[in-house]
Amino acid sequence: MFVLVNLKAYPCGPIEIAEAARDVAEDYGVDIAVAPQAAHLSRVADTGVETWGQHVSPVEHGSHTGSTLAEAVDDAGATGTMLNHSECRLTLADIDAGLDAAERVGLDTTVCANNPEQVGAAAALGPDAVAVEPPELIGTGTPVSKADPDIVTDAVAAAEAVSDDVSVYCGAGISTGEDLVAARELGAEGVLLASGVAKADDPKAALENLVEPL
């Protein structure tokens, strides 16, 4: 199972969380990545944890003030990026261009989607993974695997109908080891979470509790 911890723009300690994720990944043999703010990418990558961008813009070098250039994310030490998070929506054309941008520099990609239908559309664009995240459950502490497990199984089926090479991750409300196991049993190969770690008083303990059942 792949665990991607999105720090969003929370008032947390990105280096503390990165070091905790690095240590827990090593101790438990689990693949854990951290997605900090773009300005913190290089410092997080310097800890040795797998580092992801929260976004790359669908642009090339040029006059694109305020954009997040894929080459800059790569230079900072990231190895992957999310696209189309519910808090950073893109058009289908921009998702496609964002995937092209990530591919230019060899970044792994996960495209977020609201529902199985969007998962199928995203999978057709050829990312490494798609993540199903119903927006209404994000940050609630109620995982989609409990609220509506059919969304996860249907998302897996939608992706498989398009390509066997696209992994499916489960997001929204993930916070416990039970949630992680439930996601795996429903066919997901990874999870995305944020507040369960970024808002935790002890991020390392939160990560340990998350992966211990594996």
Question: Catalytic residue positions?
Answer: 85, 133
Q: What is the C-alpha separation between 171 and 138, in angstroms, rounded?
A: 8
Q: What is the C-alpha separation between 90 and 68, in angstroms, rounded?
A: 14
Backbone angles phi, psi at 109, to 5 degrees: -135, 140
Which among 174, 192, 176, 186 is positioned nearest to 131, based on CA atoms? 192
Q: What is the C-alpha separation between 113 and 75, in angstroms, rounded?
A: 27
Q: What is the C-alpha separation between 72 and 140, in angstroms, rounded?
A: 33
Q: What is the C-alpha separation between 72 and 76, in angstroms, rounded?
A: 6
Place of tokens 């529902």: 115
